[in-house]
Amino acid sequence: MAPPKLAAGNWKMNGTLQSLAELDALPTAPGVEVLICPPALLVQPMAGRAAGRIMVGGQDCHAAASGAHTGDIAAAQLKDAGASHVIVGHSERRSDHGETDAAVMAKAAAAHQAGLVAIICVGETEAQRDSGETLSVIAGQLAASVPDCATAANTVIAYEPVWAIGTGRTPSAAQIAEVHDAMRQALCARFADGAEISLLYGGSVKPANAAEIFAIPHVNGALVGGASLKAADFGPIISALSAA
Ligand SMILES: O=C[C@H](O)COP(=O)(O)O
């Protein structure tokens, strides 16, 4: 079975209750799962408003099921609020909060335990790309961030080059293809259903470049930041994925 096509929006620390109006204007398209990961406070109202048309996810979860972790959110609480997915290991979490591969793996396992799909993010810095380390960095992050309990049903991998996030710069199609091909090979070598795990590209995906990116082998969708905030931008990206 081919991996599902997923158009995932990450609102990051943007949006208020008023922003939920964007959902009403957001089209869906045949063969594409649409997911938005808003700030945690908006998960429950968004899930109510999306009414099953659009899936809703968290942007992070704690590795523990519950307990004394002030300010954190458990995967089961996201699930309780109506989330189906949670992003873990986004580069902004890794850099802003010092999250290690081991921490990301524990969070992904917690997400699975709670019945959420974990979107596990990997990606090289510009310095790592410039020094030719991209493939080894990605291989290392996959090995150390993806738990053994991962399956195609509970895991999505997002390749997000750190230098492409929010910069308007994207890797060439050949560079994206090289990484996605390597990720697919690594997942197939480790997991029985590795060929069916959705692989997303993220980093400055826009309506103007979406079709080219979705034509790349083993790109099964996108994790979209800035362009997911407005239906006028995210809608054409969803359509491009449907047409790919
Ligand atoms: O999670 C989304 C990514 O960090 C991409 O963000 P961006 O589309 O604003 O570059």
Q: What is the ipTM of this complex?
A: 0.99
Q: Does domain 73-243 have CATH number 3.20.20.70?
A: yes
pLDDT digits (tens, 9 = 90+) for 88-127: 999 999 999 999 999 999 999 999 999 999 999 999 999 9
Distance (Å) from CA 146 to ligand 1 centroid: 21
What residue has token string 């390597």?
A: 182
Query: What was the pLDDT predicted at 1?
Result: 82
Res. 181 pLDDT band, cuts 50 70 90: very high
Distance (Å) from CA 202 to ligand 1 centroid: 6
Cite the active site residues: 90, 160
Identify the residue whose C-alpha is closest to ligand 1 atom 3: 225
Mutation pick for ligand 1 pocket among 224, 229, 233 (CB with most ligand atoms within 8 Å): 224
Distance (Å) from CA 78 to ligand 1 centroid: 21
Contact status, residue 227 vs residue 12, Cβ threshold 8 Å: no
Distance (Å, whole) CA 197 – CA 200: 10
Identify the residue whose C-alpha is closest to ligand 1 atom 6: 225
144-160 average pLDDT score:
97
Q: Is the pLDDT of residue 51 over 90?
A: no
Q: Where are the domains of the chain?
A: 73-243
DSSP strands (E only) in the chain: 5-10, 32-37, 55-58, 85-88, 117-122, 155-159, 198-202, 221-224
Q: Which two tokens stand for residue 168?
A: 């308007």
Q: Is 154 annotated as a binding residue?
A: no
Q: Is the pLDDT of residue 131 over 90?
A: yes
223-240 average pLDDT score:
97
Res. 52 pLDDT band, cuts 50 70 90: confident
